[in-house]
Structure 1
Amino acid sequence: MTSYLTTHNKFIGQFAYRELGTDHNGLPLIMLTHLSATLADWDPLFIDQLAGQNHVIAVDLPGVGASRGQVPPTIEEMASQVIEFVQLLGFSKINLLGLSMGGMIAQAVAEKKPELINRLVLAGTGPRGGQGIAQVSTITFTTMSQPPSAKVDGLWANTPVLSIRTTICIDTDDLLEQPQLLEQ
C-alpha cells in the first residue's frame, strides 16, 4: 500500500489534496485539520492506518498550504469551500472528520448540507461560538498543566461539558501503570 508520506498532492479547482486508501468505491473520509496546519501535518501513521480500510482524502482549503486562493474570514465560508471541494470530486455522500478548527468547519458543513454527511467524526473540537466558548481555553490550559494522573482522576466526572475529552494527553507509561484508563 502507498504511504501518506510518499503520496503526491493532487489539485482540483483551488484545492490541494492527497488521496489514498484501499476502497475507492466506498464513501470517502474527507479530513479537515486544525488552525495553522496543512494536509502535510497529518500523522502519516494515522493516515496509513485509516487508509488500510478506507478511501481517505486530506485537503488544504483555499489559501492554506498548497491550495490557491484566499482564506475566508468565517467558519461558514470555509464550510462552503468544503462542500464545493466535495462537489468538484463528484461525491454526493461522504464521511467527514474534523480536528479542532476542522471540527468546527465539519459541524458547519453538516448544518449547511446534512444530506452530504454519512458519518461525522469530531476530534478535539467544540462549537464555533456560543455560551461558554470563552471558557474552553482556560479549561484546556488548566487541565493540560496538571500531571496526567490528576487529569484522569478528576476530569471525567467533574469537568464542564465544554472541555472535550479528547484534550486529555495520556502517555503510554500512564496506560501501562493504570490499565483502568483504557476502560474509560
Structure 2
Amino acid sequence: MSVIVFGSGADKSLHRNLFSIQPASAQRITPSDVWQVVYQQLPDLPRENKYISRENGKVDENNTLANRLIRYHVYTKGRAPIYRLDWKLTLADYLGANEIMYDTTYPGNDSLRENPINGDKAAIARLNRSQRDALVQVLVNIFNPTSQNTQSPSPNTVPIPSTSTTPQLPQRGGAELLK
C-alpha cells in the first residue's frame, strides 16, 4: 500500500494509506486519473472543461469538473475519498449547504484564466439527487473497491418498523457488554 501526502505549500500535510485503487480489471489507477474513470461510468456528468489554460492559452480539456471535484475533496479539504459521507459533505459545499468554498484555493484558480468555481457550483446544482448519489457511489467504488456492495437499501427493502406501541427497555447488563 502506498502513502500519499495530501496538501501543498503551507498546507498541513495529511498522511493517509487510502490509495490502493485496484478496479475489477486489475489495473492500477493513480489519483490523478480517477476523473477519467468517473466519466467512463457516468458519461452524462457535465465535463465543464471549456476553460482556457494560463500556460498555453488553449482550452484545457483535461481540467474537468470531476477532476476539480476530486482535487477539492482530497487536497483542498483533506477529506478521505473512501467514505460516502465525506463525498456528501463535499457536494454540500458545492450546494452552499456546508462549508464556504473560497475562490483563491479552488482547483484551477491558479492554472486557468477564469476561476471555474461558479460554473462548477452551478453544474453540481443542476444535478438531481439521484445523479448526485450516483456520483458519490461511483467515487466511493473507485477509491474503495471493497465497498461496491454497500449501497443504501432501496425503498422496497427498507425494514418496516414494528407497529407495537410498547417501547423496548434496555436489558440489564448492557453497559457491561459494551466494555
Question: TM-score scaled to structure 1, two decimals?
Answer: 0.25
Q: Give 1 or 2 for the bigger CA radius of gyration.
A: 2
Give 1 or 2: higher strand fraction. Answer: 1
Question: TM-score scaled to structure 2, two decimals?
Answer: 0.26
Ranked by relative contact order (alpha carbons within 8 Å, sequence separation 6 or more), the top structure is: 2
